[in-house]
């Protein structure tokens, strides 16, 4: 049976549909992001993790979301520019998605079902992080308050 995570896809900032299967055999840290959020400096820490471990089979996937305090109001071009210029992001960023409610993107429907948080299947705020192992199994959910550096030990165990 095909792994459910690898059966999903999402559109990147350039408008291309990307299959999650492209990340097969990699450790994935999937994050709902927002460039105007107080947690946005975490993008720098996420980039550091990506740079350090990308050659070992690790990838960060950013999913911008505007559902919390209107903190990602821009279009794809402005999101790409802000991530690159302000935070030096080189890891893949996807088109804006919803992570809660009836319009929840299928990737987040799956992750929230597999890894419930203190709010059940809801995501509380931007920069909720989901760690997925090399087999596409979600293994750990981190709150928006979790600094990316504190996730490094979990990543290293999975690599």
Active-site residue (options: 8, 37, 111, 155):
37
Domain ranges, residue 153? 5-158
Buried b / exposed e over 105-143, threshold 16 CB at 10 Å, is bebbebbbebbeeeeeeebebbbbbbbbbeebebebbbe
**Is 65 known to be catalytic?**
no
**Number of domain units in the chain:** 1
What is the chain's pLDDT, residue by residue, as a tens digit (159 residues)?
457 999 999 999 989 999 999 999 999 999 999 999 989 999 999 999 999 999 999 999 999 999 999 999 888 888 888 888 788 899 999 999 999 999 999 999 999 999 876 667 789 999 999 999 999 999 999 999 999 999 999 999 999
Q: What is the CATH number of the domain that holds 114?
A: 3.40.30.10
Tell me the whole-structure pTM to 2 decimals.
0.94
């Amino acid at each position: 049976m095909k792994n459910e995570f690898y059966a999903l896809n999402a559109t990147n900032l350039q408008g291309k549909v990307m299959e999650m299967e492209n990340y097969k055999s990699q450790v994935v840290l999937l994050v709902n992001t927002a460039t105007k959020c107080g947690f946005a400096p975490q993008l720098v820490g996420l980039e550091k993790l990506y740079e350090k471990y990308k050659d070992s089979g690790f990838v960060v996937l950013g999913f911008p979301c505007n559902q919390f305090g209107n903190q990602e109001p821009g279009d794809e071009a402005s999101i790409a520019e802000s991530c690159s210029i302000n935070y030096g992001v080189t890891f893949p960023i996807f088109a804006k998605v919803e992570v809660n409610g009836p319009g929840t993107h299928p990737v987040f429907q799956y992750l929230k079902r597999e890894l419930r948080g203190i709010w059940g299947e809801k995501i509380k705020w931007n920069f909720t992080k989901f760690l997925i192992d090399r087999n596409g199994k979600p293994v750990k959910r981190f709150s928006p308050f979790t600094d990316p550096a504190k996730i490094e030990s979990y990543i290293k165990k999975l690599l």
